[in-house]
Chain A
Amino acid sequence: MNRVFKFILIIFMLLVVIGASACIDEETEGTAEGAEAGEGSQDLVVGVGTDVSSWYLDMFASGDARFVWAQVYETLVRLDSDLNVIPGLAESWESSDDGKTWIFHLRENVTFHDGTPFNADSVVFSYSNQSYVRQAVLRPVQSVEALDDHTVQFVLAKPMPLPFYLTHIAWPVMGPSCLDAEGNFVKPVGTGPFKFDTQAKDQEIVLTKNEAYWGEQPLLDKVTFKVIPEAATRVIALETGEVDMIIKVPEYDVARLEAEEGIQIHRKLTTFTDFLQFNCEKSPFDDTRVRQSVAYAIDTETLVNEVLEGIGEPAGGRAYSPVMMYSDPDLETYTPDLDKAKDLLEEAGWKDADGDGIAEKDGEPLHVTLIVSKGVWAARHNPMAQVVQGTLREVGMDVEIQVLDEGAISKLESAGDFDMILRSGYFVWGPYPRHFFVHHSGNPYSHYNNETYDQLVDEADMTLDSQEQEELYHSLQAFVTEEVPAFYLVHEEKVVATGPAVNGYVISSEDPWLNLSGIYLERT
């Protein structure tokens, strides 16, 4: 018995020692950190929602990882804060007449963080077959070749507006020295204004200033990204001054933060638009009139004002955020009209005969499901779904909301076993209107099959003349508002909050970017 007791005692003591030693280690670390952050320091602390799980080009940099990537890595082509295309690591580019060959002239005298020169080989390496972007997005790319040290040629199977694609920060140029001799990833090597320093998984990522940066020198010496998944905790961390800046501020906290002294709210319309996607292959939404009825019933202005605290812009069916390229400013959007909505339903054969408020057709009540994802957008999508439910009830549509996780949604989608899904924009980056592929019949998730639409999308994507392209995209927008394969609800607004020390921040429209250039700190 004595031995057993000793054994247990030893185990417990071990546990306590492990615990204590870990505490002590980190405590010394903590104080060192505190001492560094003296007065006048230019060490910015940013609160983000998710950690960087991958630093290498064979994986898509998802979530907030892209904000961090954008400081370390750079793209050949860039966007300014209003989404205009500007030179990045490439100074200029040109395409052949058929739009299938693109040549990029690279900036000279640029070096990677480890001192190796940036050249054509590193571009070839970054867009090799191993890269995620070649496998998933740039499938039409047939070859990437170095013509000389500072010229790279992309050959495509079909015309494609390649420069737009190359602005996405998840597909940057990386130094081949990211890899060791055996081809294993060692550390991120980029050309950006900040160098990778350390990462404590799910806690923080520390970057330091790149003294040899080719562009405008950053004013900050160090940037620490703190990983705080809970939005409420992130907001409090800003209020307590534990972080200087937070991204993805929840809509319902904006008014309160705005009233607080020293805290500044920065808002800007993004390229993302929330939408109700219909299953156009199945009754009742296989009937255009029923879809139009939904469009007339829902008041997107109320949605923005009541649910999203006025943050965002009512879309009224417009597929494109006004910040997008070729967004048609004169597009006729929907103004709510309940009578018209009811009429359209009746035309389609749905009429409330038994007086219970729900329309019927052939004795079947008009019962539909609305799927909402449990993911990151749930906080805004759940209340939006409830408003949609309430509104559609008024025109005689009985909506059942299903809150499901992504796996369950993709299963129902594959089986075509759904009526409506509430989504946030996808196939969206930069100003380029690629989102229209969502309703293309070639997309396995589209559930909309319209030959005219498919042709328009393909043609618009492959047209080189920008005047012609604009016309095509304008007609596509009119097509979507008329045919309503999806009803577009709200153009999202991005919200970033900064604390009292932060000066010179300019918010950008492009979601994967976090523009830190020009920021400097003044701590009192």
Chain B
Amino acid sequence: MWRYIAKRLAMVSVVIAGVTLVAFSAMYLAPGDPAEVIALARYGDDLSTSQIETLREAEGLDAPVHMQYLIWMGHLLRLDFGKSLVTSEDVLSEILQKLPATVELAIVSLLVSLLIALPAGVLGALRKNTLLDSGCMFVSLVGVSIPNFWLGLLLIWLFALILPLFPSFGYGSLEHFVLPALTLGSSMAAVTARLTRASLLEVLGQEYIVAARARGFDERTVLFRHALKNALLPVITFAGMQFGYLLGGAVIVESIFSWPGIGKLLVDSIFARDFSMVQGCVLFIAVLFSFSSLVVDILYAVLDPRIRYDRSD
């Protein structure tokens, strides 16, 4: 197990090294002279050529590209993400400041989605091919088809304007979680519910379930003790991956609900052409994503004793 974790960690670091390269080169692949676009973002339209040159020197943008990359990496290894090109604020502290809001929203959304998806999926599987089943699956189909920004606005319209129950935007109290988490959670729930149903149906058809029934266990025991435990394995993997995605920033939802998280920070920085901030966000998200999938894999092993990573090494 530990060897597996060590191996995965090594792989994660390779991935992250790759991400640094991509994040860095994106700045050069993106159209426009970086010094010029930064100067535009910082000084507005009214700028002179000499200002652009001054900025190019001051920000070290005149060095050869590979040198700039090595310098940047050198700073990164000392956990120095640099300063925002637009506001001069420290990139890492800015990201860390936004992180809690995103993590909180991700956790709550994940819970919301599981609360919706698990019962719906289980019901669907147990009442296979009934009206209830088709109903659940239809709703989940709709859920997965509605784009987040549209669902978000619909929920705001319904629950903030027509039935003034929850705030339409902002961050601060538990109430503020309801609409964004419902938006994010319900679209995730749609897929999770279908997965739960399919997985449970597959497990229910297996011999050991038939055997369990034959041994006289009642349906409830068969379902909860034997079937669900195994059926939930793929669901957990999926939810784990989704969690990584959520941490990466539910960009649109954060923008609609003015949620001060890392996704919104990334979008704002892209629009402001704040390259150092964009690089920092991308890198941070990559790290979070890698680790959350690592945690999922380990969780998998814990839940399913048949999986022994050590042996396969």
Instruction: Type the 1/0 row for A218-231, where 1 means its CB is closer than 8 Å to any CB of B.
Output: 00000000111110
**What is the distance, in angstroms, from B109's C-beta to the closest C-beta of chain A?**
11
A411-B31 in contact given A202-B264, A230-B255, A242-B169 (Cβ < 8 Å) = yes
**What is the distance, in angstroms, from A512's C-beta to the closest C-beta of chain B?**
12
Establish whether residues A228 and B258, one from each chain, have CB atoms under 8 Å apart when the complex forms: yes
A62-B44 in contact given A22-B100, A136-B51 (Cβ < 8 Å) = yes
A200 to B260, CA, bound (A): 9
Establish whether residues B172 and A26, one from each chain, have CB atoms under 8 Å apart when the complex forms: yes
- Asked whether A360 is an interface residue with its Cβ less than 8 Å from the other chain, the reply is no
A19 to B110, CA, bound (A): 13
Establish whether residues A411 and B32, one from each chain, have CB atoms under 8 Å apart when the complex forms: yes
Establish whether residues A136 and B31, one from each chain, have CB atoms under 8 Å apart when the complex forms: no
Docked complex: A224-250 residues within 8 A CB-CB of B: 226-230, 232-233, 236-237, 239-240, 242
Establish whether residues B108 and A19, one from each chain, have CB atoms under 8 Å apart when the complex forms: yes
**A-B residue pairs in contact (CB < 8 Å), sample of 9:** A54-B87, A132-B43, A203-B170, A228-B169, A232-B153, A233-B156, A233-B256, A240-B164, A411-B31
Instruction: Type the 1/0 row for A185-209, where 1 means its CB is closer than 8 Å to any CB of B.
Output: 0000000000000001111000000
Q: Give the secondary structure class of B's interface.
A: helix
Residues on A lying within 8 angstroms of B by beta carbon are: 1, 4-5, 8, 11, 15-16, 18-19, 22-23, 26-27, 29-31, 53-54, 59-60, 62, 132, 135-137, 139, 200-203, 226-230, 232-233, 236-237, 239-240, 242, 375, 404-408, 410-412, 414, 426-427, 444
A411-B33 in contact given A4-B298, A137-B46, A233-B169 (Cβ < 8 Å) = yes
A135 to B51, CA, bound (A): 8
- Asked whether B132 is an interface residue with its Cβ less than 8 Å from the other chain, the reply is no
A5 to B46, CA, bound (A): 59
Docked complex: B236-262 residues within 8 A CB-CB of A: 255-258, 260
A16 to B106, CA, bound (A): 11
A29-B172 in contact given A54-B87, A59-B42 (Cβ < 8 Å) = yes
Establish whether residues A139 and B48, one from each chain, have CB atoms under 8 Å apart when the complex forms: yes
- Asked whether B273 is an interface residue with its Cβ less than 8 Å from the other chain, the reply is yes
Residues on B lying within 8 angstroms of A by beta carbon are: 1, 30-33, 36-37, 40, 42-49, 51, 86-88, 97-98, 100-101, 103-104, 107-108, 153, 156-157, 160-161, 164, 167-175, 177, 255-258, 260, 264-265, 268, 271, 273, 295, 298-299, 301-302
**What is the distance, in angstroms, from A231's C-beta to the closest C-beta of chain B?**
11
Partner of A406, one of B40, B170, B174: B40
Establish whether residues A18 and B1, one from each chain, have CB atoms under 8 Å apart when the complex forms: no
Q: Which residues of A contact B265 (CB under 8 A)?
A: 202
Q: Which residues of A contact B45 (CB under 8 A)?
A: 426-427
